[in-house]
């Protein structure tokens, strides 16, 4: 910085540069620098003569203007100090130091008190005669220069020469003042003086405006480039558009947003505000952002050379985010208060981090640092100390703490919670405490009382009285952490071990922790490097190497290695890219280089610099980052100030803690702690959230982040709700988060992990290293709990978990050995991380997210919810998610659900978890829209009516083609009429159910239509089904009539009603009239009854009415029919699927091709092709699969214009195959239960599918809704039961009112009185609104298009004599082929003859329901809640996993090593290391031994991936082979590969054998 003049020649130097430039332009005149300078010189001579010397005080009572400026300059030139006195007020009591008052008042008395008063007007002649040159000598820097009287406090702050000069210099530098500037200074002379003189020092023009009313006019007239004034003046200024200066400087930090916006609107480019001590001394400055929101005033960054310290009540520095008092040191302290030794002593205190003997100004302002180095004001000085977090509503009456213990507790609370007076009955949480603070409380109580405090007890004792009682009752202290000798191998802590192990297996960016700092622009890279190296010197963890000694990882503390610091400059994108690279660069744990840094500048961030330090997690955690951040700033400040840094002592290092932890874990309490966790976590099931993509076999740590804001009112409501239940915001948010997870996953036993600082001992407060621990919070919610009940439950869960946090997570994982699963994180898959902002610093805030989120694409779990308080007092949230599982939009919806649920439960805390709303109105409307099919107002007509219309329209068109037989519409109609007359004669009428047991043939169609013409309904029976089943169905249906043929009679043997034999009774039928009989034709009458499999062992008859059937066929006729041809009928009409193929041609004037009953499926393709082309073909995926093999692409395309697939899930592969052959617009997937008349939804397959084809959306006059078990619509992506409503809904189940009432339920979302059918299908909505099939809710399955209730097969099996119990499952073979497998438990009477069972069941059930394999088991395995544990049933293929001895030498050696490590007598080839009891640490030892044994680099990852002896042996042999191939011949010759160990020789032998 160029040397600046002293105040003595401040103006002289400007006058020398440009004497004619205008120095001051006031309302009267302009004054150039020459005149100003000369006047100052003359006045100085006068003052000297008047006896005013350096250090003297001159009162200047002039209004702002040129006279004032030149008079002050004159006083300064005389070396004296100025006490500005308002010209518009009479002289009051003057301080005794004032020797002379300069004024313009001809009536002024010559003396005022002890001071001489001089009228400058009268003095003019005298002055003119004096020389204008310099006189005297400059004052000392410590001499007074300005006495700022603050009318608000009545105090006068003395500023010395150096301070005033610095204030002026800083303004000139900071705001770039230069000669062309015109600086408008609004206000009186007792306001902030410095800008006026800064203008003069810079050679600019000062424009004093004493009268605020004229400000706007002057600003316009003077074309000011700068405007300075108090915020209220600026707010009132009302500048005209375009007249605002480039820069507006507010003399006070709080410029109202309105004013800021108005000034910006008037054209100001930049708005700045300074924070002034006592109204005169600027200590901070910041740029004002008009749009900023936040409860606290920003003070800004410290002004150069004014170190600002935020100190707690003990005078200790506090980290960012923590409130403290503002202290200004250096040139910001001031020189004391005039005539006020008491205030001076109180406010100017010894500086804690400054030069020896220097003072700092204790302003009393309550402030805190933001993470970016900006100060914010929380409370003004002298105001009551408001606690930042406490809201003390409903506090109990104050009771004075009396005993020493009570007083101790009260005092510590008071400190922690910043509440001045804590009473005996106060509640910790009510005063603003939270769970993380409990840890701190325990530590402080421990320190103060000497007795250790169990955290759990503290959670149970939340009043001062209760905690004081605890202090009295606790046992003596256990050993603390002390330094351990460094001359022996140092163990790793459990946390270090796990990170080391995982990192060794697979290095991943998730083990990189960030420290992100914003630094001023002028900090040199060398300084940064020096500071970082100093930090490594201080903290051993930053220079520790990790090595393996005797199969055990060890830490070795090394010397500090110079940090790798990169410097970069570029756009924000470039910097983000650099940061990303830095995050993704791994660390070599054996090298001792555990951190690296980049110092970056980007124009996007102004003059500052960004420092990203990445540290391996093994050396760092969030708390450590906060320590490093704080120490970094302290070291930097000290280096820049040129003083020795004073850092707090680090009593113990990380290795000491690791040693202590081992000690601690070896104690008996370990067993208790483990017991607690074992019990708590027993039976844990992984949380499976609805994902967009299948879970990869191996967890992918790549992730992304969705951020959101929690509105202030909502967070306040959350806090209030918690406080009313003695719960912390953490617990309340966790309960809400858990509820969302449960609602989305359907799993109510929600497990969420949460990080805790892990620093339960005070000794490690300043230690850097990985202390972070993870707590598993098993919320065990239930849908029937109210939110407040759930909160109570979660509160207890949290308390207990926090109380048992001493056991490390890693230890629990190793001990509990959860099923080893590389696809997910152990014990918990979802985490919650709340930063209250108080205890865990070092976290980037919202502004830094721009850099860190795009650079660090990591997901530590499937889903982690972060909630943090921002520097401006708002709360923000973020979901970090693994993008291998979730799409961004899905996580965004999750955030919406979370916020909506928070609204819901805070508004109505008594709502049950199942009932609480998680969907916004808009989302619900969207679901309703998707679930509502087209409204089609078909004219009322039955299928039969439509057929008869067609008969009239095209009587001679072919209606039925069956073999060689062709029947015209008229012929079919006539035959049907005669049959109808016959049936009526036999008693058929409305709603009579007529059995129909006919093989496919020409007579089938007239018979079906004939029943309808009799107003009756038909019951289709497939003659190929077992007689037992047909008999059952007929009797269940109480069919009085059965239409059949003589060759089918045997199928329905034993039928008691009247048979109509179409062949035998032909003559009788022919005798009836050809005209149609009269009928009611009521569309509510039954059209047919179709029996489907029933879970209780009885098939159930679905009663479908004409209205429902016609609705479906109308749609099909409209949307499916086109081009040439009709449709083929080739599957059993005992099911409703082929009804479309049968009836749609008959109502559209086309032919139905009735394929023969003895159709050989092996020739299905050719048979179908013979009748092609069809308008459409409806078939099952099974048929489609057959046709794929039987037809060429051309034939597939030639088959039909449209292919409609239904009856079963349509696999993607099959759909894609046909899509290729057909092209778009020709393949449709249809879904519909019989109970909803054939079809409910369709999904056109127009794009290649990645998963099974969705069910699609609702057909006309149909509604669909996916409901949770509580009957509420579920959000997109969430599994729920599909319910179908609308025209198609069947009447119910024949003769089964209970079952009908259970399955057909009131529809709260449709027309009054309407019903919904519960399909039992588990589905979810895709983001595009189509329904996707997930499986069955019950045990119903679909096999080859048949709907099968496994329960029915089980019931039938159990009825067989030698079977006591049975379970049937569907097993999927390796090729994807599904088959039924029956597991039988035998009666005690004796062994089961499976052949007898097979024969027995074949008599009772259709073929497709007969299991293809049986197994006899001792008992049926049950899950914890008493359901059949289907997964625990033995795999029929696996056989006995008995001992298989190792065969190759490699296997033998591995088995031997395992047996030794695991303490087992023998280990077999198929045995799994982890199943035998191996855990991660044993795996490391084993790997180490195998490496030595086989002389190869074996990764632990291989051991995890190949956990059996056989597979590991194969992997090792592969690796040996690969290494041999890498070697050159000579190397092989020289190497000892073939020589030494038997194992290697064995591997080579195996190798040659295989080849």
Partner 1 sequence: MAEQIVDEQTYLVVLNDEEQYSIWWADRALPDGWRTDGTSGTKQECLTRIGEVWTDMRPLSLRTRMAATAAAN
> Judged by CB, which is closer to partner 1: 107, or 1419?
1419
Binding flag, residue 747, partner 1 (CB under 8 A): no
Q: Which of 6, 189, 1300, 1448 binds partner 1 (CB under 8 A)?
A: 1300
Q: How far is the CB of 1298 from partner 1 (least distance, A)?
A: 4
> Judged by CB, which is closer to partner 1: 815, or 1365?
1365
Q: How far is the CB of 804 from partner 1 (least distance, A)?
A: 33
Q: Which of 1366, 1483, 1503, 1512 binds partner 1 (CB under 8 A)?
A: 1366
> Judged by CB, which is closer to partner 1: 516, or 1383?
1383
CB 576, CB 855: distance < 8 Å: yes
> Judged by CB, which is closer to partner 1: 1195, or 1314?
1314
Question: Which residue has tokens 């005993």?
Answer: 403
Q: Which of 294, 648, 1308, 1327 binds partner 1 (CB under 8 A)?
A: 1308
Q: Which of 755, 1292, 1362, 1382 binds partner 1 (CB under 8 A)?
A: 1292
Binding flag, residue 1365, partner 1 (CB under 8 A): yes
Binding flag, residue 1098, partner 1 (CB under 8 A): no
The two three-digit tokens of residue 1382, written as one number: 């029956």
- Give the Å distances, CA to CA, from 614 to 584, 586, 598, 1451: 10, 10, 9, 43
Q: How far is the CB of 1082 from partner 1 (least distance, A)?
A: 6
The two three-digit tokens of residue 1186, written as one number: 């057959």
Binding flag, residue 908, partner 1 (CB under 8 A): no
Q: How far is the CB of 1402 from partner 1 (least distance, A)?
A: 21
Cα distance between residue 103 and residue 1081, in whole Å: 115
Q: Which of 1291, 1324, 1336, 1342 binds partner 1 (CB under 8 A)?
A: 1291
Return the half-sphere exposure (C-beta side, CA atoms, 13 A cut-off) of residue 497: 27
Task: Tell me the per-residue interface mask from 808 to 837 with partner 1, x by CB under 8 A, - otherwise.
Answer: ------------------------------
Q: How far is the CB of 1352 from partner 1 (least distance, A)?
A: 10
- Segment 1100 to 1119, residues that bind partner 1, using CB under 8 A: 1103
Residue environment code for 909-939, b if the CB has 16+ CB neighbours within 10 A, otherwise e: bebbbbebbbbbeebeebbeebbbbeeeebe
Q: How far is the CB of 783 from partner 1 (least distance, A)?
A: 11
Which range binds partner 1 by CB under 8 A, 511-519, 806-814, 889-897, 1349-1357? Answer: 1349-1357
Q: Which of 107, 488, 935, 1427 binds partner 1 (CB under 8 A)?
A: 1427
Own/partner pairs, 848-852, CB within 8 angstroms, 24+ separation: 848/371, 848/372, 848/516, 848/518, 849/707, 849/878, 850/572, 850/576, 851/516, 851/572, 851/575, 851/576, 851/579, 851/610, 851/612, 852/514, 852/516, 852/579
CB 516, CB 610: distance < 8 Å: yes
Cα distance between residue 1363 and residue 1383, in whole Å: 10
Binding flag, residue 75, partner 1 (CB under 8 A): no
Q: Which of 829, 833, 1234, 1339 binds partner 1 (CB under 8 A)?
A: 1339
Neighbours of 1275 (CB within 10 A): 27
Which has the closest alpha carbon to 158: 329, 339, 335, 347?
335
Q: Which of 126, 340, 506, 1082 binds partner 1 (CB under 8 A)?
A: 1082
Cα distance between residue 1098 and residue 57, in whole Å: 111
Q: How far is the CB of 791 from partner 1 (least distance, A)?
A: 21
Q: How far is the CB of 1365 from partner 1 (least distance, A)?
A: 5
Q: How far is the CB of 1430 from partner 1 (least distance, A)?
A: 11
Binding flag, residue 1358, partner 1 (CB under 8 A): yes
Binding flag, residue 1306, partner 1 (CB under 8 A): yes
Binding flag, residue 1307, partner 1 (CB under 8 A): yes
Angle at 1037 between CA 1034 and CA 1042, to 5 degrees: 50
- Segment 856 to 895, residues that bind partner 1, using CB under 8 A: none
For residue 745, is the peptide bond before it cis, meaning its omega torsion is within 30 degrees of 0? no
**Phi, psi of 1181, deg, nearest 5:** -55, -30
Binding flag, residue 1520, partner 1 (CB under 8 A): no
Binding flag, residue 942, partner 1 (CB under 8 A): no
Cα distance between residue 362 and residue 978, in whole Å: 111
Q: Are strands 22-25 and 30-32 parallel, antiparallel or unpaired?
A: antiparallel
CB 704, CB 761: distance < 8 Å: no
CB 735, CB 718: distance < 8 Å: no
For 804-843, the DSSP string reads: TTTS-HHHHHHHH-----TTS-SS-SEEEEEE-SSS----
Q: Which of 381, 390, 852, 1355 binds partner 1 (CB under 8 A)?
A: 1355
Binding flag, residue 1420, partner 1 (CB under 8 A): yes
Size of residue set near partner 1 by CB under 8 A: 39
> Judged by CB, which is closer to partner 1: 159, or 1089?
1089
CB 842, CB 830: distance < 8 Å: no
Q: Which of 392, 557, 1334, 1428 binds partner 1 (CB under 8 A)?
A: 1428
> Judged by CB, which is closer to partner 1: 276, or 1367?
1367
Residues near 1021 by beta carbon (within 8 Å), at least 6 away in sequence: 995, 996, 997, 1030, 1033, 1034, 1051, 1052, 1134
Q: Tell me how far the alpha carbon of residue 1161 is from its chain's centroid.
A: 53
Question: Which residue has tokens 């080391």?
Answer: 500
> Judged by CB, which is closer to partner 1: 1427, or 1553?
1427
> Judged by CB, which is closer to partner 1: 300, or 1094?
1094
Angle at 49 between CA 47 and CA 51, to 5 degrees: 75
Cα distance between residue 1058 and residue 992, in whole Å: 13
Residue environment code for 108-127, b if the CB has 16+ CB neighbours within 10 A, otherwise e: beeebeebbbbbbeebeeeb
> Judged by CB, which is closer to partner 1: 138, or 1421?
1421
Which range binds partner 1 by CB under 8 A, 2-10, 580-588, 1310-1318, 1545-1553? Answer: 1310-1318
> Judged by CB, which is closer to partner 1: 644, or 1312?
1312
Cα distance between residue 140 and residue 162, in whole Å: 8
Task: Tell me the per-residue interface mask from 979 to 998 with partner 1, x by CB under 8 A, - otherwise.
Answer: -----------xx-------
Which range binds partner 1 by CB under 8 A, 402-410, 610-618, 837-845, 1420-1428? Answer: 1420-1428
Question: Which residue has tokens 């405490």?
Answer: 433
- Give the Å distances, CA to CA, from 199 to 256, 1200, 1313: 26, 91, 84
Binding flag, residue 1354, partner 1 (CB under 8 A): yes
Span between the terminal Cα atoms of the chain, in Å: 80
Q: Which of 1367, 1469, 1484, 1509 binds partner 1 (CB under 8 A)?
A: 1367
Binding flag, residue 910, partner 1 (CB under 8 A): no
> Judged by CB, which is closer to partner 1: 625, or 1384?
1384
Cα distance between residue 595 and residue 617, in whole Å: 10
Q: Which of 129, 1067, 1312, 1361 binds partner 1 (CB under 8 A)?
A: 1312
Binding site for partner 1 (CB under 8 A): 990-991, 1080, 1082, 1084-1085, 1095-1096, 1103, 1271, 1291-1292, 1294, 1297-1298, 1300-1302, 1304-1308, 1311-1315, 1339, 1351, 1354-1355, 1358, 1365-1367, 1420, 1427-1428
């Amino acid at each position: 910085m160029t040397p600046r003049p002293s105040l003595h020649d401040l103006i002289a130097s400007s006058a020398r540069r440009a004497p004619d430039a205008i120095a001051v332009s006031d309302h009267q005149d302009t004054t150039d620098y020459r005149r100003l300078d000369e006047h100052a010189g003359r006045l100085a001579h006068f003052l000297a003569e008047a006896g005013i010397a350096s250090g003297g005080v001159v009162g200047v009572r002039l209004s702002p203007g040129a006279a004032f400026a030149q008079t002050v300059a004159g006083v300064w030139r005389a070396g004296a100090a100025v006490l500005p006195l308002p010209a518009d007020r009479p002289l009051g009591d003057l301080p005794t130091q004032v020797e002379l008052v300069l004024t313009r008042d001809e009536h002024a008395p010559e003396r005022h008190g002890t001071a001489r008063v001089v009228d400058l007007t009268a003095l003019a002649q005298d002055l003119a005669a004096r020389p204008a040159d310099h006189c005297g000598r400059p004052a000392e820097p410590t001499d007074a220069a300005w006495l700022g009287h603050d009318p608000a406090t009545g105090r006068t702050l003395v500023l010395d020469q150096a301070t005033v000069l610095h204030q002026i210099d800083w303004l000139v530098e900071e705001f770039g003042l230069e000669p062309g500037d015109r600086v408008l200074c609004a206000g009186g002379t007792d306001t902030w003086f410095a800008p006026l003189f800064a203008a003069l020092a810079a050679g600019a023009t000062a424009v004093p405006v004493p009268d605020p009313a004229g400000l706007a006019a002057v600003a316009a007239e003077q074309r000011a480039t700068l405007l300075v004034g108090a915020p209220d003046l600026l707010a009132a200024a009302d500048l005209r558009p375009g007249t605002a200066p480039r820069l507006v400087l507010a003399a006070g930090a709080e410029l109202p947003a309105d004013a800021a916006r108005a000034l910006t609107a008037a054209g100001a480019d930049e708005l700045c505000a300074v924070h002034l001590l006592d109204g005169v001394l600027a200590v901070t400055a910041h740029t004002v952002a008009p749009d900023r929101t936040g409860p606290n005033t920003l003070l800004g960054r410290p002004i150069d050379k004014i170190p600002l310290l935020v100190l707690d009540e003990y005078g200790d520095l506090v980290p960012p985010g923590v409130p403290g008092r503002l202290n200004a040191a250096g040139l910001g302290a001031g020189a004391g208060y005039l005539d006020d030794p008491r205030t001076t002593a109180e406010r100017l205190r010894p500086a804690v981090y400054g030069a020896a003997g220097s003072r700092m100004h204790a302003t009393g302002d309550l402030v805190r640092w933001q993470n970016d180095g900006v100060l914010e004001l929380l409370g003004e000085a002298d105001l009551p100390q408001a606690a930042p977090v406490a809201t003390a509503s409903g506090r109990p009456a104050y009771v004075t703490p009396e005993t020493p213990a009570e007083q101790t507790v009260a005092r510590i609370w008071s400190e922690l919670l910043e509440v001045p007076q804590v009473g005996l009955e106060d509640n910790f949480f009510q005063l603003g405490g939270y769970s993380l603070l409990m840890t701190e409380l325990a530590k402080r109580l421990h320190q103060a009382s000497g007795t250790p405090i169990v955290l759990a007890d503290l959670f149970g004792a939340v009043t001062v009285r209760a905690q004081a009682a605890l202090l009295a009752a606790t046992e003596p202290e256990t050993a603390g952490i002390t330094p351990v000798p460094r001359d022996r191998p140092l163990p790793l802590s459990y946390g270090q071990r796990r990170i080391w192990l995982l990192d060794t297996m697979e290095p991943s960016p998730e083990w990189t922790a960030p420290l992100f700092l914003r630094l001023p622009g002028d900090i040199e890279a060398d300084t940064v490097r020096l500071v970082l190296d100093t930090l490594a010197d201080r903290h051993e963890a930053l220079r520790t190497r990790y090595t393996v000694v005797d199969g055990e990882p060890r830490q070795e503390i090394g010397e500090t290695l110079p940090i790798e610091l990169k410097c970069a400059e570029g756009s924000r994108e470039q910097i983000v890219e650099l940061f990303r690279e830095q995050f993704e660069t791994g660390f070599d744990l054996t090298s001792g280089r555990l951190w690296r840094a980049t110092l970056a500048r980007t124009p996007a961030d102004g003059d500052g610099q960004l420092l990203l330090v990445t540290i391996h997690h093994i050396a760092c955690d969030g708390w450590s980052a906060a320590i490093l951040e704080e120490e970094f700033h302290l070291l930097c400040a000290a280096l820049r100030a040129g003083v020795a840094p004073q850092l707090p002592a680090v009593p113990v290092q990380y290795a000491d803690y690791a040693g202590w932890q081992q000690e601690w874990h070896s104690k008996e309490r370990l067993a208790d702690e483990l017991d607690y966790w074992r019990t708590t976590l027993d039976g844990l099931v992984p949380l499976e959230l609805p994902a967009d993509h299948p879970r990869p076999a191996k967890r992918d740590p790549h992730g992304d982040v969705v951020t959101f804001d929690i509105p202030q009112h909502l967070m306040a409501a959350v806090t209030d709700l918690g406080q009313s239940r003695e719960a912390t915001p953490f617990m309340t948010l966790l309960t809400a988060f858990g509820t969302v997870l449960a609602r989305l996953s359907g799993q109510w036993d929600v497990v969420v992990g949460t990080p805790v600082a892990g620093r339960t001992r005070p000794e490690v407060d300043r230690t850097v290293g990985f202390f972070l621990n993870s707590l598993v919070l098993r919320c065990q919610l239930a849908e029937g709990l109210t939110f407040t009940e759930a909160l109570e439950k979660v509160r207890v869960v949290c308390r207990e978990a926090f109380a048992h946090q001493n056991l490390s997570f890693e230890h629990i994982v190793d001990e509990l050995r959860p099923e080893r699963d590389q696809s997910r994180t152990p014990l918990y898959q979802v985490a919650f991380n709340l930063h209250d902002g108080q205890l865990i610093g070092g976290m980037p805030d919202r502004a830094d997210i721009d850099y860190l989120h795009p650079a660090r694409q990591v997901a530590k779990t499937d889903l982690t919810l972060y909630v943090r308080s921002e520097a401006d007092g708002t709360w923000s949230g973020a979901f970090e998610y693994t993008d291998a599982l979730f799409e961004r939009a899905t996580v965004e919806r999750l955030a919406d659900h979370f916020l909506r649920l928070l609204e819901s439960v805070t508004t109505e805390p008594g709502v049950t978890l199942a009932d609480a709303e998680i969907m916004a109105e808009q989302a619900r409307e969207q679901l309703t829209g998707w679930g509502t099919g087209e409204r089609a107002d078909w004219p009322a007509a039955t299928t039969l009516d439509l057929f008869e219309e067609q008969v009239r329209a095209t009587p001679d068109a072919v209606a039925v083609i069956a073999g060689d037989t062709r029947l015209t519409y008229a012929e079919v109609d006539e035959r049907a009429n005669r049959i109808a007359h016959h049936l009526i004669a036999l008693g058929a009428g409305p709603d009579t159910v007529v059995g129909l047991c006919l093989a496919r043939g020409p007579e089938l169609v007239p018979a079906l239509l004939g029943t309808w013409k009799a107003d009756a309904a038909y019951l289709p029976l497939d003659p190929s089904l077992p007689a037992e089943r047909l008999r059952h169905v007929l009797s269940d249906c109480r069919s009085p009539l059965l239409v059949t043929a003589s060759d089918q009679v045997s199928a329905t043997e034993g039928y008691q009603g009247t048979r109509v034999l179409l062949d035998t009774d032909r003559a009788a039928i022919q005798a009836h009239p050809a005209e149609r009989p009269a009928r009611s034709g009521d569309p509510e009458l039954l059209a047919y009854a179709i029996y489907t499999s029933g879970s209780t062992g009885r098939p159930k008859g679905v009663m479908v009415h004409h209205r429902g059937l016609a609705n479906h066929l109308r749609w099909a006729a409209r949307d499916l029919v086109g081009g040439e041809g009709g449709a083929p009928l080739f599957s059993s009409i005992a099911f409703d699927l082929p009804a479309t193929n049968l009836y749609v041609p008959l109502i559209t004037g086309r032919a139905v091709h009735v394929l023969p009953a003895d159709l050989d499926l092996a020739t299905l393709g050719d048979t179908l092709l013979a009748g092609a082309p069809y308008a459409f073909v409806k078939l099952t995926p099974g048929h489609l699969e057959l046709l794929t093999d039987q037809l060429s692409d051309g034939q597939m395309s030639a088959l039909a214009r449209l292919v409609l697939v239904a009856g079963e899930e349509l696999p993607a592969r099959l759909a894609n195959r046909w899509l290729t052959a057909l092209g778009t617009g020709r393949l449709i997937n249809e879904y519909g239960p019989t109970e909803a008349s054939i079809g409910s939804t369709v999904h056109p397959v127009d794009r290649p599918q990645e998963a099974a084809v969705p069910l699609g959306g609702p057909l006309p006059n149909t509604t669909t809704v996916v409901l949770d078990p509580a009957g509420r619509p579920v959000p997109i992506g969430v599994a729920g039961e599909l319910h179908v409503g609308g025209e198609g809904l069947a009447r119910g189940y024949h003769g089964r009112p209970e079952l009908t009432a259970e399955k057909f339920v009131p529809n709260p979302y449709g027309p009054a009185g309407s019903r919904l059918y519960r399909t039992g299908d588990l589905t979810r909505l895709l983001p595009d609104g189509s329904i996707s099939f997930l499986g069955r809710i019950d045990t119903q399955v679909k096999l080859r298009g048949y709907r099968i209730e496994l329960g029915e097969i089980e019931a039938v099996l159990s009825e067989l004599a030698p079977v006591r119990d049975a379970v049937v499952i569907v097993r999927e073979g390796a090729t994807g082929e599904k088959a039924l497998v029956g597991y039988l438990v035998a009666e005690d009477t004796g062994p089961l003859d499976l052949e007898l069972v097979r024969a027995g069941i074949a008599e009772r059930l259709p073929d497709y329901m007969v299991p293809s394999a049986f197994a006899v088991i001792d008992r049926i395995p049950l899950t914890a809640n008493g359901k059949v544990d289907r997964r625990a049933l033995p795999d029929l293929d696996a056989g006995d996993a008995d001992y298989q001895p190792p065969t190759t030498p490699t296997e033998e050696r591995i088995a031997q090593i395992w047996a030794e490590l695991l303490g087992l007598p023998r280990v077999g080839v198929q045995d799994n290391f982890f199943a035998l009891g191996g855990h991660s640490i044993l795996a490391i030892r084993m790997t180490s031994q195998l490496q030595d044994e086989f002389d190869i680099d074996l990764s632990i990852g291989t051991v995890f991936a190949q956990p059996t002896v056989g597979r590991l042996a194969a992997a090792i042999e592969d690796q040996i082979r690969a290494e041999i191939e890498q070697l050159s011949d000579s190397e092989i010759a020289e190497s000892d590969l073939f020589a030494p160990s038997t194992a290697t020789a064995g591997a080579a032998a195996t190798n040659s054998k295989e080849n």
